[in-house]
Amino acid sequence: MRNFNSPKFGHSMGDDSDDDDFDSGTEPEFLVEPYVLEEFPITEEIEEIEGDDEEYNPNEEIGTSSSDDEDDSDDSDSDKEQENDGEDSSTTNTVPKRVIDDYDEDMEEDEVIKAIITEIKKPRSKPPDIKTEDFVTDLCFHPDQDLLAVGTTTGDVIVYKFTNDECTIVNTHETHTKSVRDVEFNADGDLLISTARDRSIMVTDVETGKLKRFWDDAHEEPVYTMSMITEHTFATGDDGGVLKLWDLRQKDPVFKLKEVEDFISCIITNEQKKYLLMTSGDGYLTTINIPQRKMYVQSEPYEEELTCMGVFRRDSKLVVGSSKGNFYTFNWGQFGYHCDAFIGPKAGVNKMVPITERIAVTGGEDGILRAMHLVPGRVLGIVGQHSLAVETMDINSTGELIASSSHDNDIRFWNIKYFEEFDDIKYNSKPDKKAMTHNLPSSKQTNAADFFSGLAGDQSGAEGD
């Protein structure tokens, strides 16, 4: 994952769907409540059946006729429509049409139901979920375009183009023979670098899909993680604790170090590119001096796996997350022992994505994405949720969208544009325990207290008028 600082928030709004009127000459035998929240991919219009000599028979199926020729023509038309629908759905993940979109909330007398319908019918501010056939192991946003690269357990790298309405597959690179471990774009976005369990490293041209460079048996152990350092250099760490630095213009690695005995979980650096930091499964934070190509310092061992990192406060603070949900803060340059620590959620933390100079979004074993103020440490609330553990996360170049994936094979997007209004937070205020379960605006779940308090305010204002 890339380290992200100081995002520039963009604007992204969906289109309002057209309202269709539902007319029927007779009262149907069943009633569908207009505020049912279920989604239906296909909506059917029921037309009145008119006949000169024949009376309407309620036992007959709607749309049937006594003529065999008409039956054949109707069946052929419906078959064509089904084939067309199948072709469209195989290539894109589109937003299905909902029954709720055809309902006019102004006709509803119940104020609570009216407010719920209004909330649901708001324009989309993020792409729809992507459902994949194979397990997703890593994902990465393009630095300039609305593209998302996804690595799978089959060894493929799938590139999606996304909008607020749909996600379309642009290209599929069948690069590796075993599960992809990490995938990254270079700074210009013209190259896509992927590592895998087959111990290989592939460099693919994003535009043409052609293989630009290939390292077979790049490591003796499967590659676990990777991180871009400069435009031409990147670092990889494997399951055996070996770190290698690569240059896209050279055949052999720039240098190789082995300072830990367990898997390397995360690799990052800052804008100065002097120190390269890595965390490992044996509980060490190891710092490499890049110009001198040797170890700078190694921390005291921690009795837990160190899993993720983030740089904050203009590169003055480093925060490290662990498999036990703990967070350790280091002063930059003083990586031997932490200067502060705090306990986060009980579940282990797998990923950390910085979104401002003080705030990060973390994903853990409980499947919940939390916004956390890390200097000092406190939980702000829930950004989103999966049903299973969060496997990977990334943030787009504008800082507006976060994409995450879980063991349920779903890729979900979360619009975090509202964080630009968090500058007025009293950072030193006492942490609120309720924040551990408080849903932020991007979450798919709503806080009932917040919703009804807003509703009560609207009603009181209406009474005052």
Class of domain 133-258: mainly beta
What integer pLDDT is reported at residue 85 of this predicted model? Answer: 47
What integer pLDDT is reported at residue 108 of this predicted model? Answer: 58
Q: Tell me how far apart the alpha carbons of residues 416 and 128 are, in angstroms, rounded to a whole number.
A: 15
Q: Do domains 107-131+344-421+437-449 and 133-258 have the same CATH topology?
A: yes
What integer pLDDT is reported at residue 110 of this predicted model? Answer: 61
Low-confidence ranges of the chain (pLDDT < 50): 1, 3-78, 80-91, 423, 428, 447-465
pTM above 0.85, yes or no: no
What integer pLDDT is reported at residue 345 of this predicted model? Answer: 83
What integer pLDDT is reported at residue 194 of this predicted model? Answer: 97
CATH of domain 107-131+344-421+437-449: 2.130.10.10
What integer pLDDT is reported at residue 117 of this predicted model? Answer: 62
Domain extent listing, the chain: 107-131+344-421+437-449, 133-258
